[in-house]
Amino acid sequence: MTTRLFSVVVDAADPRALGFWWRDALGWEVIYQAADEVVVVPPGAGAVERGPGLVFVEVDDPKRGKNRVHLDLASQSVDDQAAIVERLIAAGATPAGVGQRDDVDWVVLADPEGNEFCVLDPRDRYRGGSALAAIVVDAADPTTLAAFWVAATGRSIGYQDDQIVSLRYPDGLLPDLELLRNADPRSGKNRLHLDVAPWAASDLDAEVSRLVALGATPADVGQGSDVTWVVLADPEGNEFCVLRPR
């Protein structure tokens, strides 16, 4: 039995506006919209089954501090990177500082609600692939946390050094899930979180028990008792949801 990474959930004051902004930023498709939720997925057949899509949900809490989960966008050349940055700033993104050095090759921006993201310099790993290169999670100990997320997502380690561990699909398709060393203490609920989903033939309770045995703990983010998913936290306290099998 296993779960796989299914979506990234983004808290939003205006999920429709932010969801459509990210649709345009990535060239993806909106497959569901309501007053309090918008779902954006990569174009093409099978995107919903493969994941991960982006789910924007209405949350009243304001953003506080730097997000511990962020998105990395791919570029195909230096000129393409510059064009992406220019296009996104024209659409409402703003330059952001997260402690990066002045000489880094990537560009840090924030979306219209202040969520930081990176437009990466061209890299062989991301050439010709998805507009979304990676989903990045801050981690005090990337190597230790990677063992949990390998088991939770069915991915394998594609690259690792002292600062980062990159988890990849078995077929190599993007985006990667990357655990990035960051010693800043976690404060409050994450504004972006991951959803994992069991495959259709699996059992939700069994998968939750398996993840708890691997180090997850039950978490309360105000979800109530009538939801169809289960909220857990990974061994470093990052909330995530286990969705019903699909």
Q: Are 139 and 126 in contact (CB under 8 A)?
A: no
Tens digits of pLDDT across the chain (246 residues): 589 999 999 999 999 999 999 999 999 999 999 999 999 999 885 655 556 999 999 999 888 889 999 999 999 999 999 999 999 999 999 999 877 777 789 999 999 999 999 999 999 999 988 899 999 999 999 999 999 999 999 999 999 999 999 999 888 889 999 999 998 888 788 999 999 999 998 999 999 999 999 999 999 887 877 899 999 999 999 999 999 999
Contacts of 85 (CB under 8 A, 6+ apart): 107, 109, 119
Annotated domain spans of the chain: 3-242
Q: Are 76 and 122 in contact (CB under 8 A)?
A: yes
Tokens of 195: 């959803």
Q: Are 71 and 84 in contact (CB under 8 A)?
A: no
Model's pTM, two decimal places? 0.94
Distances (CA, A) of 69 to 135, 136, 183, 189: 7, 6, 14, 11
Architecture of domain 3-242: Roll (3.10)
Alpha-carbon distance 9 to 186, whole Å? 18
Q: Which sign does the torsion angle of CA 125, 148, 164, 7 carry?
A: positive
Alpha-carbon distance 11 to 56, whole Å? 6
